[in-house]
Structure 1
């Protein structure tokens, strides 16, 4: 799983820009809604819901919003019915892209996603055309400057907690887990006093597609357009972009 810094650098660059709180809270509420609908409204017995709630709270989503999303899913409040879909395709330069959506209107969302690909020199493909390039993984990020612990100590505790791997950059400790053990690893490290700036189960690419500055700019426009769609929950991709190019374009 080595080499994920290519992916995480772009992910954190995007995360720093995704602070439109109303839009973000709406996406988080839909994620909570789906998890509660599929597995019940108790986070203690529904791990996907617990992950979704933790993600919402890490983004400072009010508890009232969290409770409302759960109640809508369990029938205690009236609300629209969302369905989950994943679209796959290729961005500029052949970058693999997966788009996870929650929508109450599949036709509208499919048309919007296709439009985003077409407008940004991409192509929407068939289901399965790029999914094999990604692995589902738990992902935990600790802000390194805020920690007094050294790399070896964090790594040992992460491994003892059940993590698969840890990578270190100047800014972050990045911990990877099996999806099934994500909640246990996170809980164990939290008990040890660690706090996370990111904690989620996500899709990580096995290989990467490198683009020049022009290609990176086009690909980031596609990501922006997709993420600006209210129905889009997550955009996964395998873009490899040089840090200097990302800083320039930012």
Structure 2
């Protein structure tokens, strides 16, 4: 994993999303839903959800929106039945893409996802066609923009907590865990006064795909088109984005 920065890609995408009207709350809604789905709706025991909610509130997301997305994830929202669906396929240049959706109308969502791939040079595949290229991992980011955190100390604390890898990046440290160890590592770090910029159980590519500028631009259009669907909860890909 060294040499590739998921955090750099996350920041680049979030900055692009935030420049679009209405994207900020959508991003927070997805983060809250995913955290609640993975770890339950109790803020006291789900550190990832607590972090997601704190970020949403910092951007003035209404409490009703926050509660609704937690209820969606935990199956306690009245009046609607939501179904989780995963789509797999390839983007421009052979980039592997996995799209997770939450929908109350799978026919509508399938049409939107299929249209996004077709219009932007991608191809949908069968289930399992690209998922074997990803590993499920706990992923934690500790920001270090000021460069004041000591790498040896963080590495020792992370490994003591149960992390399996610590990767220094520009302005941050990325930590990786086994999914079953994720909550304990987050709890340990928070109890030791580390501020977590991001924390989730997610899919990490085994290898990254570098594209020409032209193909990367096409891939970004595909991601934008998928993000425009309110049903899309998360997008995983193995594109190594340029600076």
Aligned partner of 1:80 in structure 2 is 80
Alignment coverage as a number of residue pairs: 235
- Normalised to the residue count of structure 2, the TM-score between the two structures is 0.86
Unaligned runs of 5+ in 1: 244-250
Secondary structure of the structure 2 residue equivalent to 1:127:
coil
Indicate the residue corresponding to 1:154 in structure 2.
154
Aligned to 2:30: 27
Are the equivalent residues in 1 in contact too, given 2:146–2:171 (CA < 8 A)?
no
SS at match of 1:218: helix
Answer with 52-61 or 110-119: which moved more. 52-61
Q: How many angstroms apart in 2 are the aligned matches of 1:105 and 1:34?
A: 19
Q: Is the 8 A contact 1:55 1:200 kept in 2?
A: no
Deviation of residue 43 (structure 1)?
A: 5.3
Structure 2 counterpart of 1:119: 119
Task: Tell me if the contact between 2:44 and 2:50 (Cα under 8 Å) persists in the aligned partners.
Answer: no
Give the equivalent residue in structure 2 for 1:100.
100
**Do the aligned partners of 1:30 and 1:102 also contact (CA within 8 Å) in 2?**
no
Contact 2:137 2:201 in 1 (8 A): yes
Contact conserved, 1:116 with 1:225, CA < 8 A, in 2?
A: yes
The whole-number CA distance in structure 1 between the counterparts of 2:80 and 2:200 is 25
Q: What residue in structure 2 maps to residue 201 of structure 1?
A: 201
DSSP 3-state at the match of 1:183? helix
Asked if 2 retains the 8 angstrom alpha-carbon contact of 1:27 and 1:230, the reply is: no
Equivalence for 2:210: 210
- Which residue number in structure 2 is paired with residue 224 of structure 1? 224
Gap runs ≥5 in structure 2: none
Q: Tell me if the contact between 1:34 and 1:82 (Cα under 8 Å) persists in the aligned partners.
A: no
Distance verdict in 2 for CA 1:35–1:162, change over 3 Å: closer
In the alignment, the residues of structure 2 paired with residue 163 and residue 29 of structure 1 have an alpha-carbon distance, to the nearest angstrom, of 23
